[in-house]
Amino acid sequence: MEINVFKFKYFSVKQSVNTMKIGTDSMILGALLHKSKFKKVLDIGSGTGVLSLMYAQQNKEVDIISIEIDQLSAEELKINFLNSPFKERLHSVHGDFLTYSFETKFDFIFSNPPYFESDLLSFKKNKNRVRHNLTLPVDLMFKKIDSLLEINGFFQCIIPVHLLLKYEMEAKKVSFFINEKISIFAKENKLIRYILIFSRSQNIVIESQVVIRQDNNQYTTDYIQLTEEFHGKSL
């Protein structure tokens, strides 16, 4: 498969200028996005737009705004939307999530946010914006989400394990609470990510897990079944 185009079952994603190529983080988060039939949805830091495309495939009534701060990535995002069968329901925006003035509130917001908070910076500035917490500090992100999310809305994201406490702490400052926590294992006993779903309701946290690969490096049955509606071919 050409690295610049990732072919799904119902759409293709061009990723020639996006520094963050489609990987298991996107596949798992996209497949596990909240199943409620939300109407007004926001995708923060959309990159290629793959999460928006996956959610549009699952929800035939949704209208999604996808915002991306990097100009070249935003241009590619727009192309991916225009070339998709869901183009009437997908809207790309080039802008800074923290300063952009949205004209509506949202039922559901999701993101695969920047996560390298203290690692060494890359010489490539656009990669720094995508991968490092330079333009989207966690505290400011939650404050902005609080202003945009409907009272009964949900926010969902995928993060590395070491950021769990920080996200939980910053969320509580704006009265957001974890409702669901999905533990993502690269292999059995190798925890690498959490998918978190937040709302303003403080309930018992629902916990589950997904293991991506077996010890022989083959995909697990659970991962194959989770993503089979999106892949253009069998794993």
pTM: 0.90
At residue 101, the 3 state secondary structure works out as coil
Residue length of the chain? 235
**Distance (Å, rounded) from C-alpha 58 to C-alpha 13?**
17
**Distance (Å, rounded) from C-alpha 203 to C-alpha 9?**
37
| H or E stretch at 190 | strand 190-199
| H or E stretch at 80 | helix 71-82
Classify residue 233: in a domain, yes or no. Answer: no
Classify residue 115: in a domain, yes or no. Answer: yes
| H or E stretch at 66 | strand 63-68
Classify residue 111: in a domain, yes or no. Answer: yes
CATH number, domain containing residue 170? 3.40.50.150
Classify residue 48: in a domain, yes or no. Answer: yes
DSSP string over 32-59: TS--S--SEEEEES-TTSHHHHHHHHH-
pLDDT of residue 23: 86
pLDDT of residue 39: 95
Classify residue 32: in a domain, yes or no. Answer: yes
Domain holding 206, by residue range, is 5-227
DSSP state, residue 9: S
Classify residue 71: in a domain, yes or no. Answer: yes
DSSP string over 84-100: STTGGGEEEEES-TTT-
At residue 165, the 3 state secondary structure works out as helix
Q: How many domains does the chain have?
A: 1
| H or E stretch at 153 | strand 149-160
**Distance (Å, rounded) from C-alpha 35 to C-alpha 206?**
15
What Å distances lie between residue 122 and 44, 47, 126, 129, 130, CA to CA? 22, 18, 9, 10, 11
Classify residue 57: in a domain, yes or no. Answer: yes
Classify residue 235: in a domain, yes or no. Answer: no
Tell me what the mean pLDDT of segment 159-176 comes to. Answer: 97
pLDDT, one tens digit per residue, over 54-89 is 999 999 999 999 999 999 999 999 999 999 999 999
pLDDT, one tens digit per residue, over 186-209 is 999 999 999 999 999 999 999 999
pLDDT, one tens digit per residue, over 99-146 is 999 999 999 999 998 764 444 344 444 444 444 345 689 999 999 999
pLDDT of residue 235: 64
For residues 131 and 19, the answer to whether their CB atoms sit within 8 Å is: yes
